Amino acid sequence: MISTKQRGFLTGLASKDAVSAQLGKGGPTEAFAAQLATLLERHELVKVKFVDFKDQKKEISADLAEATSSELVRVIGNTAIFFRRNPDPEKRSIELP
């Protein structure tokens, strides 16, 4: 579980240079969850832009976080920010405060 301070820090990082994925008309499929998990493994911080399903973004984001074992940092507008710390300390690219 990340703290409020860490949540703010990650939100700031995401606004600058986080890797992005788009959730379109295909919806939150298992393949999309697998793609998100792969992105999280490589980059730790990922933004998901909701092209469709905008009215269900909070529920879908919570489900994706659970499916990928990640933290839902924040949902801002039509974008959700996910974070999952790399278990290998040598591969971590983000140091939390």
pLDDT at 19: 81
* DSSP per position, 16-34: HH-EEEEE-TT-S-HHHHH
How many domains does the chain divide into?
Answer: 1
What is the extent of the structural domain holding 77? Answer: 4-85
Q: Is residue 91 part of a domain?
A: no
Q: Is residue 41 part of a domain?
A: yes
Q: Is residue 19 part of a domain?
A: yes
pLDDT at 18: 74
Q: Is residue 97 part of a domain?
A: no
**From CA 60, how far away is CA 42, in angstroms rounded?**
22
**From CA 74, how far away is CA 81, in angstroms rounded?**
5
**From CA 37, how far away is CA 68, in angstroms rounded?**
5
CA atoms within 13 A on the CB side of 79: 12
User: 41 pLDDT exceeds 90?
Assistant: yes
Q: What is the CATH number of the domain that holds 69?
A: 3.30.110.60
User: 10 pLDDT exceeds 80?
Assistant: yes
Categorize the per-residue pLDDT at 33 as very low, low, confident or very high, splitting at 50, 70 and 90. Answer: very high
User: 1 pLDDT exceeds 90?
Assistant: no
- The whole-chain average pLDDT of the chain stands at 94
Of the two residues 45 and 16, the one the predictor is more confident about is: 45
Q: Is residue 93 part of a domain?
A: no
Q: Is residue 96 part of a domain?
A: no
